[in-house]
């Protein structure tokens, strides 16, 4: 592995785990608004942060979800629950940081889900669909567990578009033999579109 | 494969994919009544049309769901979403056609789910249960995603009976070495009972 | 297998299937309160009694869920639905019995889920999480299907604590090479805490 690839891999890992943390905290904030106790915080944080990847891995059937086999994921998701339980997150700056990290993660997760589906030998259409599921699944599960119609189903089109665009870019660049570039492009465009979605969506 | 078997196989494929299209359109119509945007149409159409088979394949663990490996399914389900998005489906004739195709599909899906469960080496009782899940799962998921108690849980007994009867017929005739006859009988009786269910259920 | 191990195994089987029956009946009682018909009774009973184990086995991906491969589970769950359909369960004694059996089952299921996760080669943290999911998953699915926020998410902390403590005990004693003792300790402490939860939770 040359230095560039290594750097890219490290950035990806950082974005991935950062996204888990941000989404876990968002799950914890949703738990507070529903007046749940610490148990509810942990369950919603874990499902928000890891739900998309768990659905993807359960469908691909390549073994237990990476959320269970890579210890970092559960630790970070539970940490997110504990942080959300003790920190009120009322300040504008903390919320902006969460939104930024979440936006970065949407593009990355879409790309990672699409790539993993291609690696499992499936076609480009399932790869795009699975990319979107990976990116938005955790938030959708969080909404359903709180008996809300998932925001992604309506009124948040740009957010879904961000996941779609990132998945498509990844599939195209991966098919052209440039998966690392695919991840980088998907991450960037996903982030830009997600931020637009938060502002105008 | 002799000509009869070939014809039966072709009819089955037609009923299967027709059922996916009809259920996807029904999912899109549900998305309209919940005032969702195109993203919601696609998600509900895919889950309505393919949800039962996805649950079946995830539980049987014989590899990724056929909804992902056979390209026709996703294409047709997404096409159903697009059709439902642009066509209002207010006329009585179009609704009757949807109901008829859906009724045909319930019997076929129950039989297919039961047979696949037997093929996986499981017993007759799981086969019947999985047949029912395959047939009614998509509609149940559609209801849950829209925060409705699934219609199948109550007030639609004849519809569930249709799936049950088709599954039982398939298991019996399959155990007697006549799976093709089983599919045909299950499809017919499922259709008759489903149509009665729509009229009187 | 010596006599003690054999006796413990028999007790475990009894607690396991007793827990399925008790939870299936609780599912049926929930179906009655939602005024569902027999179809709803069966679906809620099966999901209540078997849901936790089905989620565990689907995530572990070691083959189809034991709920499908071991015939006793489906038979007992459906029997629970039928019992709940015909027996009103208004008396205090019948309810106390259900609560007691359910309480015994929470500890056992948590231990069994944790052990099965360790057996699949996963670490101690996923094992604890899966133990909790196995123990409380069926009840959570039952609540979601009836459009209630799962009780386990809030206001029932001691019940979740019971599943957590049982999972931790099992993981510790299993890692120390004493899985049978782990099951026994987990079952006992789970039962004590669950009963406290029902009384004070």
Instruction: Please write the tens of the pLDDT for every residue from C81-126.
Output: 999 999 988 777 877 888 788 888 889 999 999 999 999 999 999 9
Cα separation of A77 and A85, whole Å?
12
Residue C69 has pLDDT above 70, yes or no: yes
Cα separation of A46 and C11, whole Å?
34
Interacting residues of C64 by C-beta distance below 8 A, sequence separation 6+: B59, B60, B61, B120, B122, C57
* 3-state class (DSSP) for residue B123: coil
How many CB contacts within 8 angstroms connect chain A with chain B? 62
Segment B42-54 mean pLDDT: 96
Q: How many residues does chain C have?
A: 201
Residue B115 has pLDDT above 60, yes or no: yes
Q: Is B71–A123 a contact, with Cβ atoms under 8 angstroms apart?
A: yes
Cα separation of A66 and A28, whole Å?
22
Q: Is B153–C44 a contact, with Cβ atoms under 8 angstroms apart?
A: yes
CA-based nearest residue in chain B for residue A162? B39
CA-based nearest residue in chain C for residue A51? C59
Q: Which residue, among B77, B63, B71, has the nearest Cα to B18 in the 3D structure? A: B77
Q: Is A144–B145 a contact, with Cβ atoms under 8 angstroms apart?
A: yes
Please give the pLDDT value at position B110.
94
Task: Compute, in degrees rounded to 10, the torsion defined by CA atoms A69, A73, A79, A84.
Answer: -130
Inter-residue contact A190 to A110 (CB < 8 Å): yes
Cα separation of C181 and C174, whole Å?
8
How many CB contacts within 8 angstroms connect chain B with chain C? 62
Please give the pLDDT value at position B45.
96
Instruction: Please write the tens of the pLDDT for every residue from A135-147.
Output: 999 999 999 999 9
Residue C187 has pLDDT above 80, yes or no: yes
User: Partners for A (CB, 8 Å, 3+ pairs)?
Assistant: B, C
Cα separation of A179 and A175, whole Å?
8
Cα separation of A62 and A58, whole Å?
8
Segment A109-125 mean pLDDT: 95
**Mean confidence (pLDDT) of chain A:** 90
Please give the pLDDT value at position B201.
53
Please give the pLDDT value at position A191.
83
Segment C134-160 mean pLDDT: 88
If one counts the domains in chain A, the total is 1
Q: How confident is the model at residue A95 (pLDDT cuts 50, 70, 90)?
A: confident
Q: How confident is the model at residue C201 (pLDDT cuts 50, 70, 90)?
A: low
CA-based nearest residue in chain B for residue C61? B61
Nearest neighbour of B61 by CB, restricted to C63, C74, C144: C63
Q: Is A59–B65 a contact, with Cβ atoms under 8 angstroms apart?
A: yes
Contacts of C36 in chain B (CB under 8 A): 149, 153-154
Nearest neighbour of C149 by CB, restricted to A63, A74, A147: A147
CA-based nearest residue in chain C for residue A143? C149
Residue B160 has pLDDT above 60, yes or no: yes
Contacts of B59 in chain C (CB under 8 A): 54, 58, 64-65, 68
Q: How confident is the model at residue A1 (pLDDT cuts 50, 70, 90)?
A: low
Residue A88 has pLDDT above 90, yes or no: no
- Which residues constitute the domain of residue C50? 3-200
| Count of other CB atoms within 10 angstroms of residue B112 | 29
Residue C1 has pLDDT above 70, yes or no: no
Cα separation of B30 and B84, whole Å?
9
Q: Is B39–A152 a contact, with Cβ atoms under 8 angstroms apart?
A: yes
């Amino acid at each position: 592995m040359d230095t560039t690839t290594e750097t890219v891999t490290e950035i990806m890992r950082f974005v991935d785990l950062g996204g888990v943390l941000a989404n876990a905290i968002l799950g914890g904030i949703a738990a507070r608004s529903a007046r749940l106790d610490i148990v509810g915080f942990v369950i919603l944080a874990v499902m928000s942060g890891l739900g998309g990847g768990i659905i993807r891995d359960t469908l691909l059937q390549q073994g237990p979800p990476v959320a269970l086999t890579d210890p970092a994921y559960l630790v970070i998701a539970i940490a997110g629950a504990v942080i959300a339980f003790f920190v009120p997150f009322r300040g504008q700056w903390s919320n902006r940081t969460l939104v930024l990290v979440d936006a970065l993660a949407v593009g990355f997760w879409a790309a990672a889900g699409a790539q993993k589906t291609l690696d499992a030998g499936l076609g480009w259409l399932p790869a795009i669909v699975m990319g979107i599921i990976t990116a938005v699944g955790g938030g959708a599960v969080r909404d359903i567990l709180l008996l809300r119609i998932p925001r992604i189903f309506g009124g948040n089109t740009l957010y879904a578009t961000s996941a779609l665009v990132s998945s498509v870019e990844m599939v195209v660049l991966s098919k052209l033999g440039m998966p690392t570039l695919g991840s980088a492009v998907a991450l960037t465009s996903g982030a830009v579109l997600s931020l637009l979605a938060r502002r105008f969506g």
